Structure 1
Amino acid sequence: MTKPPPKRKKTTSTSESDRTSPDNLAQEDNPATATITVTAIEVPELTEAEQSDRLHLERKVERAFFEAGKALSELRDRRLYRSTHSTFKEYCKDRFGFERRHPYRLIEAAEVIDNLRKMCPNWTQNETESENVETRSQSLQILPTAEGQVRPLTKLEPQQQQEAWQTAVEEAGSKVPPARIVKDVVQRIMERTQVPNTYQLGEVCQILAKDNPELRGKGGCWGIVNHVGEFSCTVKTWNSEYTVGLQYLKSYNYLPAECEQMRVICDRISRVYSDSLEETVKSLLQSLGKVNRPYLTAVEEKLLGLIEREYGVTDGG
């Protein structure tokens, strides 16, 4: 007897009877299609007042940089992003399109503006009078109009910030100075107040990248000082040499014997490191270039020795 052709399955929503059918029961027993239940951590929902505050502050972020910095500071401190995002960084990227350090720069800039306003007690600002920082009182106090003009000032102490800004305004002919002039004034003040360079040859230091684009990727790496200048040092890392300003260095204060031990490790890594190495090998060597102790562990020593033997590099070169 000829069997009838199998009926074509209809695409419908899954009912209770469908879920208990033999086919679906088989799927539930299949680990590949099993459903994993994850218990979520409860995050306190925003109250109506907090939701209103969040919307109000978000609108400020979309305005001038001063108001943006003040609003972002409050959004961060009160964690008003918590209903939609787990971190402030993710929230800023999704909500405003801000990348990396930009929201923090705006916050720092707002703090500098607050400090500069102390030089002009009559300077006021509110939403009904102004939406950006250019507004100032009849005292004709000149204040920054862009975040880029303020960024160099964040490196100075509050009193120095006021001094630097006044000098920059004078050099710009009593007008709002461009970022270039502000940066030059700040650099002169930093050099004038710079403490003497006390680093010594062979000393082991950590590189602090901060906001220096030239040191991108080197933050946290250690280096051996091989030249001491007036306001900088040249340090040797596992794969190169860098001239670094004193503000971007931090001594590990190792003993002379520990510094010599790190010099040997640096030389070993330098001899074997090259851009042609496999990515996993380069990653391992780079991680050794960031250890914050004056020695390698037993496992790290074995791995480095294995790489040296694999690529035919010995202590003798």
Structure 2
Amino acid sequence: MSNEEDPVSADITVTSVEIPELTEEEQRDRLYLERRVERAFFEAGKALMELRDRRLYRSTHRTFEEYCRDRFGHSRQKSNYLIAAADVYENLTTICCQNLGIKDLTTNGSQILPTSEGQVRPMTKLKPQEQWQVWQAAVQQADGKVPTGRVVKDVIERILERTKAPNPYHLGEVCQILAKDNPELRGKGGCWCIVSHVGEFSCTVTMWDGEYSVRIDHLKPLNYLESECQQMQLISDRISRLRENEKLEEAARAVLKHLGELKRPYLTVLEEKVLSLIEQEYGVNEGNKPIANS
């Protein structure tokens, strides 16, 4: 087009390019590859689970946590999230195949499945059938697309709101931790804790190594007498004061861990002596100590 031509009236030539439709084989390949992308976090979670359970890190690292940090650059918590998410994904696909009467979802493109760990994280504490129901509701809320973790969490909160029951726990109550299906409580199953805050569906509890937010279905009441609860509170306070000491040695921490996992509301005479010795060694006030049982 020359400079003298009117740009408004100038002709523009557009070359059309015909895009061929996918063949049936290409459609199958596309679906198969899409499913592989979707399963990436699932494969990572299953691999991490095997690495952890078989302790395949033991030749180079002392703990799974150190291994994950050095090898993959993330915390053990991130690994636990991926492992838990893999369980959810497996539950969803298993139930889906059962409902459809098929063995493999890689040949079925009509099903919406999770594509990331964050989308299923809110469902890790639910039972398999509940996970399926929540996921279907979340997909529907997302207009048939893959829902975000926020959408999934909203669905769960609405279901909890409909089935809300009053929180049965009260401040100062001594409970036992039920760690089943909760990776954040791994290693704490059966440990005692003291309720420090009561929410609608959860409690904040104090354990030997800090505070945790725990759903009410992951707590078990120990039905201690009020005097026993007060005694456990004193033990908890003494442990907490010692844990604040930055110079606390590993041997002392091991003792505190043992006392924090007791299944009874008192210290034996020997345990009382050991705890008192640690308090004396680190100059911690020993006031208001519980009476030890023989």
Q: TM-score, normalised by structure 2?
A: 0.61
Quick one: distance in 2 between partners of 1:154 and 1:251? 23
1:228 aligns to what?
198
Quick one: distance in 2 between partners of 1:281 and 1:191? 44
Quick one: distance in 1 between partners of 2:228 and 2:259? 16
Q: Is the 8 A contact 2:88 2:128 kept in 1?
A: no
Which of these two proteins has the greater Rg computed from alpha carbons? 1
Q: Is the 8 A contact 2:42 2:85 kept in 1?
A: no
2:175 aligns to what?
205
Matched, 1:249 2:219: yes
Unaligned runs of 5+ in 1: 1-60, 77-84
Residues 1:108 and 1:265: Cα distance change in structure 2 (over 3 Å) = same
Residues 1:218 and 1:191: Cα distance change in structure 2 (over 3 Å) = farther
Q: How many residues align?
A: 234
Matched, 1:314 2:286: yes
Determine which of 125, 128, 152 is the counterpart of 2:104: 125
Quick one: distance in 1 between partners of 2:256 and 2:53? 32
Matched, 1:295 2:266: yes
Counterpart of 2:237, as a letter, is: D
1:6 aligns to what?
none
Determine which of 85, 90, 107 is the counterpart of 2:55: 90
Q: Is the 8 A contact 2:172 2:229 kept in 1?
A: yes
Equivalent runs, 1:83-232 vs 2, <5 Å: 88-91=53-56, 101=80, 102=82, 105-119=85-99, 121=100, 125=104, 130=106, 135-136=107-108, 140-208=110-178, 211=182, 213=184, 221-232=191-202
Describe the SS at the equivalent of 1:174. Answer: coil
Quick one: distance in 2 between partners of 1:204 and 1:239? 16
Residues 1:306 and 1:154: Cα distance change in structure 2 (over 3 Å) = closer
1:19 aligns to what?
none
In the TM superposition, what whole-angstrom CA distance separates every residue of 1:73-108 from its partner, at most 9, and x where no partner exists? xx98xxxxxxxx9x84335999xx897645564244
Quick one: distance in 1 between partners of 2:242 and 2:267? 16
Cα distance, 1:245 vs structure 2: 2.8
Quick one: distance in 1 between partners of 2:86 and 2:57? 12
Cα distance, 1:116 vs structure 2: 3.2
Unaligned runs of 5+ in 2: 1-35, 60-70, 290-294
Quick one: distance in 1 between partners of 2:88 and 2:198? 32
Q: Is the 8 A contact 1:238 1:286 kept in 2?
A: yes
Cα distance, 1:145 vs structure 2: 3.8
Q: Is the 8 A contact 2:196 2:204 kept in 1?
A: yes
Cα distance, 1:239 vs structure 2: 6.1
Cα distance, 1:285 vs structure 2: 1.9
Residues 1:255 and 1:151: Cα distance change in structure 2 (over 3 Å) = same
2:68 aligns to what?
none
In the TM superposition, what whole-angstrom CA distance separates every residue of 1:281-317 from its partner, at most 9, and x where no partner exists? 2332233122222222222111012123331522159
Counterpart of 2:142, as a letter, is: A
Q: Is the 8 A contact 2:89 2:114 kept in 1?
A: no
Cα distance, 1:262 vs structure 2: 1.2
Cα distance, 1:169 vs structure 2: 0.9
Residues 1:211 and 1:304: Cα distance change in structure 2 (over 3 Å) = same
Describe the SS at the equivalent of 2:54. Answer: helix
Residues 1:264 and 1:145: Cα distance change in structure 2 (over 3 Å) = closer
Describe the SS at the equivalent of 1:261. Answer: helix
Residues 1:240 and 1:103: Cα distance change in structure 2 (over 3 Å) = closer
Q: Is the 8 A contact 1:205 1:222 kept in 2?
A: yes
Q: Is the 8 A contact 1:203 1:225 kept in 2?
A: yes
Residues 1:88 and 1:170: Cα distance change in structure 2 (over 3 Å) = same
Quick one: distance in 1 between partners of 2:157 and 2:151? 10
Cα distance, 1:164 vs structure 2: 1.1
Which deviates more, 275-284 or 149-158? 149-158
